[in-house]
Amino acid sequence: MAIKAKWKKQNSQRSLLCFSLLTIPFLLLFFLFLFYKQDSPSVFRLSTNSLYPCSMRTHGERFLWYVPHSGFSNQLLEFKNAILLAAILNRKLIVPPVLDHHAVALGSCPKFRVLSPNELRIQVWDHAIELIRTGRYVSMTDILDISSISSIIRTIDFRDFVSLWCGVDWHFACLNDSNTQSSQLDTLRQCGSLLSGLKGNVDDCLYAIDEDCKSTVWTYQQNDDGRLDFFQPDEQLRMKKKFSYVRRRRDVYKKLGPGSKAHFSTVLAFGSLFTARYRGSELYIDIHESRNDRRIQSLIWKSEFIPFVADITNAGRKYSSNIIKEPFFCAQLRLLDGQFKNHWKSTFSGLQQMAESLKRKNSLPVHIFVMTDLPKSNWTGTYLGDLASDTNSFKLHVIRKEDDFVRHTAEKIATSSLGMRSGSVRFSSGQANTTKWHCPNQFLPDILLYVEETVCSCASLGFVGTAGSTIAESIELMRKNAICSG
């Protein structure tokens, strides 16, 4: 009997052990499921004391986010396209900062070699946060006057959106507390990773668009949804790159508007919105008119030219009238960047022809305003050096960012906070952000390019620009709209 009892006891222990071995994995799976569910991207756990669905953070508003790239002229083009898409899709546009020149590069659409939208979004997010952290943040609407379209388009500054979406007040950069800054930056990294689409779409919170210029041309009301675009990669390129991209035209309203999965997302995240004419087509966005939508057609007309804010425009006008004083012509010479560094001869040739013509027809000296990326110390041995040395025939004018009037204008831009008035909403109260913050590490914005472009628009004797330069195209548009005569 004792042996039998002992056997039963051992058998019971074995059963208990087997049961435990079978149960423990299920318990581990259960707890992992709970952990995953808590960490599910359908809610944001971005601060120690909050766990809110994104719709609660953003008060039910729907946003459009995009990521600019390259120099300011390209960023301006993308801003205009973003305005148009936000209006078509009835979303509030997140106004980005002015990025450092070439801090983010797209690549080449004609060569089908571009960064993916996810890669672009995370790069731009990181750069924007770095601009905030280092006190160098300048909003596009600190530089551009969008008052003419404010009744058509709703906007919010990126910094206020960060506060709403991530639960982090962007003024953390003003605090002289390394621990607080480190904690906030860690939260922002998590937030940016999610918003960039690295973890995929997020229920009704985020719809991250994967389509880019390799596969898609966005249109509106052209009855061409799904059709092949005119420009396709040629067979040689397909074989060389070993890809099978097919570019189709997509109606942005049908694809991303009411009735689509994207429509219900709080944030609709594009990649780059850069486009350009190429081989009889547009590289990414082909929306130049809207005959059946008067509101959008009006916006297309009004957004074709978006002027600089009054402080910048006035600075350029005053320099023209008070410093140059005489009739002058403008030479915009891009010589050191990208493809332009290989075309000095043709660039200087156009300038020389114009200068010699004005020398024959006008009283001397002929006044020339020069905007160039070639430092004055390197003019020797170039045609610019020849012009500068011929003081009897020509008087050259240049602006430096250290000039008092440029610095004074930059100070006014920095203190006006126009970008923060652009549809800003505080995440804590839902009220307009009118608080003035003075950060000890705040830098003055670099506005030299914008003042130079304005001066060039005032050149009554004419303008010579660098062929293929988007800066030259911007100046021509300003001159067409007679910005200096207003």
C-alpha to C-alpha distance for 355 and 441, rounded to whole angstroms: 45
| Calculated CA dihedral for residues 481, 286, 470, 365, nearest 10 degrees | -30
Q: Answer left, alpha or beta for residue 197, where phi above 0 means left and psi between -120 and 50 means alpha.
A: left
Q: How does pLDDT run across 417-426, given as a tens digit for each residue?
A: 655 555 544 4
- Whose tokens are 């960023």? That residue is 75
The pLDDT assigned to 400 comes to: 95
How is residue 397 written in tokens?
């004018």
Segment of 31-35, 50-54, 198-202, 405-409 carrying the highest mean pLDDT: 405-409
Q: Is the pLDDT of residue 241 over 90?
A: no
pLDDT at 49: 35
Closest CA to 66 of 213, 195, 160: 195
Interval 352-358 mean pLDDT: 94
CA distance readout (Å), 118 to 103, 130, 198, 312: 16, 18, 6, 35
The model's pTM is: 0.84
pLDDT tens, residue by residue, 44-98: 444 433 434 576 667 789 999 999 999 999 999 999 999 999 999 999 999 999 9
What gap in Å lies between CA 312 and CA 416, rounded to an integer? 12
pLDDT of residue 463: 96
Q: Which pairs with CB-CB distance under 8 Å and at least 24 residues apart come from 99-102?
A: 99/68, 99/69, 99/75, 99/124, 99/127, 99/128, 99/131, 100/127, 100/131, 100/136, 101/70, 101/71, 101/72, 102/70, 102/71
C-alpha angle 80-82-86 in degrees, rounded to nearest 5: 125
**pLDDT at residue 59, as a whole number:** 76
Domain ranges of the chain: 54-303, 310-401+446-485
Average of per-residue pLDDT across 357-366? 93
Give pLDDT, residue 200. 85
The CB density around residue 223, as the number of other CB atoms within 10 Å, is 7
* 140 closest CA partner among 422, 409, 411: 422
pLDDT at 204 over 70: yes
> How much is the pLDDT for 248?
96
Give the distance between the most distant pair of CA atoms in the chain. 130
Tell me what the mean pLDDT of segment 18-22 comes to. Answer: 50
Instruction: Tell me which amino acid residue 379 is.
Output: W
Q: What is the pLDDT of residue 427?
A: 38
Confidence of residue 428 (pLDDT cuts 50, 70, 90): very low
Task: Taking residues 157-186, report their average pLDDT.
Answer: 80
pLDDT at 179 over 90: no
CA distances from 407 to 48, 323, 410, 420, 442 (A): 42, 16, 5, 21, 14
pLDDT at 205 over 80: yes
User: Are 83 and 151 a contacting pair, CB within 8 Å?
Assistant: no
Return the ∠ at Cα 451 (arms to 448 and 452), rounded to 5°.
80
pLDDT at 335: 92
Specify the pLDDT at position 419.
Answer: 53
User: Is pLDDT above 50 for 225?
Assistant: yes
Has residue 101 got a pLDDT over 50?
Answer: yes
Q: Is the pLDDT of residue 305 over 60?
A: yes
Answer yes or no: are the C-beta atoms of 471 and 437 closer than 8 Å: no
Q: What is the mean pLDDT of the chain?
A: 85
208, 105, 188, 79: CA torsion to nearest 10: -70
Task: Using alpha carbons, select from 109, 86, 27 the residue that is nearest to residue 267.
Answer: 86
Higher pLDDT among residues 33 and 115, named by residue: 115
Orientation angle between helical segments 310-318 and 448-457, nearest 10 degrees: 60
Domain 310-401+446-485 has CATH 3.40.50.11350: yes
What pLDDT, on the 0 to 100 scale, is given for residue 373?
93
